[in-house]
Structure 1
């Protein structure tokens, strides 16, 4: 789905940026130019970015779903 019509940025572009290490929305704006022209897509772009960021945290083992072995910590 195209999120930003002005710069033709899709949800896949945003997800790809997050997968490639972009963890700051403003950095993604600088890199992809999403939500940097008319601004009409800002809320949608931010929502896609936040979902991609939270999905990456769960899939990489960081964040709320992380399991820590107590024996390793106390040993």
Structure 2
């Protein structure tokens, strides 16, 4: 699903960034540009990042619907 419409960032890309070492929203902003436009996606991006950190499951292809959180 798209998390950041402004930068066209998906939850899959966020999960992959976490797998590569992103640990903070600043890391995601630097690597993907997420939450650097309007900022409305920041809490959703943070949720996806935290979920990936918690589960530790490597990000694979996803078949989730194309929609933003909340």
- Does the TM-score normalized on the shorter chain lie above 0.5? yes
Structure 2: gaps spanning 5 or more residues: 58-70
Q: CA RMSD in A?
A: 1.1
Larger Rg: 1
Could you state the TM-score of these two structures normalised by the residue count of structure 1? 0.70
Question: TM-score if structure 2 supplies the norm length?
Answer: 0.75
Confirm or deny that 1:45 pairs with 2:55. Answer: no
Counting helix residues as a fraction of each chain, which structure ranks higher? 1
Q: Which runs of 4+ in 1 moved over 3 A?
A: none
Query: Using CA pairs below 8 Å that are at least 6 residues apart, which structure has the higher relative contact order?
Result: 2
